[in-house]
Structure 1
Amino acid sequence: MEEQLRIFDQNKHPIGVASRRDVHHYGYWHEVFHCWMITLIEDEYYVYLQLRSPFKKDYPGLYDITAAGHLLADESVEDGIREVEEELGISVQYEDLTSLDTLSYQVENDTIIDKEFANVFLLNSRLQFDDFKLQVEEVTGMIRVKLNDFEQLWSHQADQVKACGFKIGVDGRSQSFEERIGREDFVAHDGSFYREVVRRIKGSL
């Protein structure tokens, strides 16, 4: 059965339930769960980002929030923690997260009208790349980028940033890599969304 999501008006008043297909076709406001993971390496904070599978229907092959997903009609915000384990193979307790509050944003293109109320959380961790066990149907790689570099990218002080990480090849093996990536390599959230997330992350440290 297709996923059923709670839908809202623009003031976040519940107005019913709709299929995920209809939510994105008609542009209903709905809830999602976001978990941003950071780690401290030699006095520098890094942010982990996932590489979406090239076979995903929406935004294939682009870098995205560490772990994220829709909240189903019968789920609470706390239930969203399942996304971390499903996508990344990391066991995390809700109590380990720091709430960065709720952000609303929308993305519209030829294939989707995506209006989301994002429940945004931070995990300040000591995770290393070897800790991730990816659900390759959803996620085919992980990178980390210096948090300050990530901020400069979305403040248009830099056009590219250095990223290091790993990808899962077609043979199922993990391959390490380094590359420079730009804004065009990310899911097309508005730049103000990324800037606000960084501001809230830094405010929580």
Structure 2
Amino acid sequence: MSERLNIYYKNRKFKGTSERSHVHQWGEWHETFQCIFTQGDDIFLQKRSMHVKDYKGMVDVTVGGHLLSTETVEDGVREIEEEMGLNVSFERLIFLCTIPEELTTPEMIDKEFINIYTLEILAEELKKIKHDAEVEALIKVNKKDFYNFCLNHSKSCSGYQISDEEEILFTRDDFLPYSSTYFECLGALLNRR
């Protein structure tokens, strides 16, 4: 049985439910969940696997996924467990913002209300991370460097894979194709924390 998502009008008024494949085919607004792991002056990003259906090998926030029609935003912690193998309570998350975002590719029209949270991750939790097959690597990035990258003060950003400390340099072309507004909001809000 395919996943069903709640769909919305652009003003975020509830419209109904639809199969996930139809949501992307028809460009329906829907809700997603993102969580960015932080640790002091650093944040963590993921490099997506080359085996996932969408955005192969691209850089993205630590955790992200769709909220099913039966879920609330609090249920988004499911994505943290699925992608990183960590069971955390929603109460530990800090709400950052909700951003309406449109990502269009030749394969789909992805219109999301992205609910973004942060999680201050403990050192012992970082050691326990077992990311799933959708994630190739977890990348540790200095928060100030990411801020400059998000606000286009620098064209590239570097970080280190936590598994082997290999340096990774990425540009906007390596990131999911978020809008400038998404990056500006994300960079400014993360910098304020």
- Asked if these proteins are the same fold (TM beyond 0.5), I'd say yes
1:170 is matched with none
The reply to whether residue 16 of structure 1 matches residue 16 of structure 2 is yes
Q: Does the residue aligned with 1:51 lie in a helix, a strand or coil?
A: strand
Q: TM-score, normalised by structure 2?
A: 0.94
Distance (Å, rounded) in 1 between the aligned partners of 2:13 and 2:106: 27
Pairs aligned (count): 192
The share of aligned pairs that are identical, in percent, is 33
2:130 is matched with 133
Residues 156 and 198 of structure 1: is their aligned pair in 2 closer, same or farther, counting only changes over 3 Å? closer
Distance (Å, rounded) in 2 between the aligned partners of 1:92 and 1:19: 28
- Asked if 2 retains the 8 angstrom alpha-carbon contact of 1:129 and 1:142, the reply is no
How large is the RMSD of aligned CA atoms in angstroms? 1.4
CA drift of 1:144 comes to 1.1
Q: TM-score, normalised by structure 1?
A: 0.89
CA drift of 1:61 comes to 0.5
1:76 is matched with 72
Distance (Å, rounded) in 1 between the aligned partners of 2:82 and 2:94: 20
Residue identity in the other structure for 2:153: Q
CA drift of 1:129 comes to 4.8
* C-alpha distance after superposition, 1:2-48 (max 9, x if no partner): 110000000111111111111101000000011011111xxxx1110
Distance (Å, rounded) in 2 between the aligned partners of 1:53 and 1:108: 20
Distance (Å, rounded) in 2 between the aligned partners of 1:183 and 1:158: 10
CA drift of 1:53 comes to 1.2
Residue identity in the other structure for 2:74: E
1:54 is matched with 50
The reply to whether residue 193 of structure 1 matches residue 190 of structure 2 is no
Range that drifts further, 66-75 or 175-184: 175-184
Residue identity in the other structure for 1:10: K
Q: Does the residue aligned with 1:31 lie in a helix, a strand or coil?
A: strand
Residue identity in the other structure for 2:63: A
1:35 is matched with 35
2:7 is matched with 7
CA drift of 1:176 comes to 4.1
Distance (Å, rounded) in 1 between the aligned partners of 2:4 and 2:34: 19
Distance (Å, rounded) in 1 between the aligned partners of 2:88 and 2:187: 21
Gaps of 5+ in 1: 167-173
Residue identity in the other structure for 1:192: T
* C-alpha distance after superposition, 1:65-108 (max 9, x if no partner): 11011000010110111100110011211000111131111111
CA drift of 1:63 comes to 0.8
* C-alpha distance after superposition, 1:141-165 (max 9, x if no partner): 1001111111111222111222101
The reply to whether residue 142 of structure 1 matches residue 155 of structure 2 is no
- Asked if 2 retains the 8 angstrom alpha-carbon contact of 1:129 and 1:165, the reply is no
- Asked if 2 retains the 8 angstrom alpha-carbon contact of 1:102 and 1:117, the reply is yes
- Correspondence list, 1:46-195, <5 A: 46-127=42-123, 129-136=126-133, 138-166=134-162, 175-195=164-184
